[in-house]
Amino acid sequence: MRKILCIGSHPDDVELAMGGTVASLSARNYKVLLLDLSNGEPTPSGSVAIRMQEAAEAARILGVQRKTLTLPNRYIEDTVDNRMLLAAEIRAFAPDTIFAPYALDAHPDHIAASALIGAARFYAKLSKTRLPHDRHFTERLIYYFPVHLRIHLQPSFLQNISAYQEQKKQALLSYQSQFGERRILLEKLLKENEHWGFLSGVDAAEPFFQHEPVLFSAWPEGVP
């Protein structure tokens, strides 16, 4: 079974950027783990207990496992200690693919996480370290796009999430402390998926970026 590790700075980052893709991977029996670097609190309307409950519910709706680490929200940094911490998590789960935030973003935690994840992926394959578990190299590192920075980025590929857009919306609605009073913002963010879908001839899609070339071992669904 192929294993996919989706890392976010805060609970809801992965759901916002790639909730439909997570649901589609889960439906295809991939083993998916959502890994939050922090608990995402404080926020204006949240608390740690509420956010953890919301995050657990979102993972349940998407049909995946979730783990939340204890790095400090708003102060996430790409340090050697944090690389070691995250590399140990990567070794423990041994994913085939890691999803990480794109390096260009408005939120400093997302920018730091992007660099931290790239470094931890490298550390996880090292021998002769004090890291636990067997050394592991994650084959693919794929970046999901920011929602805090309103810029147009050219994706490497799109994932068709037409059948999973509603599931994504429901997962995001579990974060009542974040979107309860910002329902319109959430609707607008979901419209972005319809925009990417329009460009690719489906109802909804999510954009992704890879520095390394995209390799298909078989024609993806929909390609003649």
Which residue ranges make up the site for Zn ion (CB under 5 A)? Answer: 9-10, 13
Q: Strand pairing partners for 207?
A: 158
Residue nearest to Zn ion (CB): 10
Q: Among positive and negative, which fits the CA dihedral 45, 49, 54, 58?
A: positive
Helices (H), 63-164: 80-93, 108-123
Nearest approach, Cβ of 9 to Zn ion (angstroms)? 5
Which SS3 state, helix, strand or coil, does residue 142 take? Answer: strand
The pairing of strands 31-36 and 205-209 is unpaired
Cβ proximity to Zn ion, 13 vs 54, nearer residue: 13
Tokens 């999973």 sit at which residue? Answer: 164
Distance of CA 160 to the CA centre of its chain: 16
Q: How far is the CB of 218 from Zn ion (least distance, A)?
A: 34
Residue 7: CA atoms inside 13 Å, Cβ hemisphere, count? 31
Q: How far is the CB of 13 from Zn ion (least distance, A)?
A: 4
Residue tagged 């999430």 (tokens): 161
Closest distance to Zn ion from the beta carbon of 214 (Å) = 25
What does residue 67 show for φ and ψ, rounded to 5 degrees? -140, 140
Closest separation between CB of residue 10 and Zn ion, Å?
4
How far apart, in whole angstroms, are the C-alpha atoms of residue 200 and residue 147?
A: 20
Decide whether 13 or 89 has the Cβ nearer to Zn ion: 13
Residue closer to Zn ion (CB basis): 94 or 115: 115
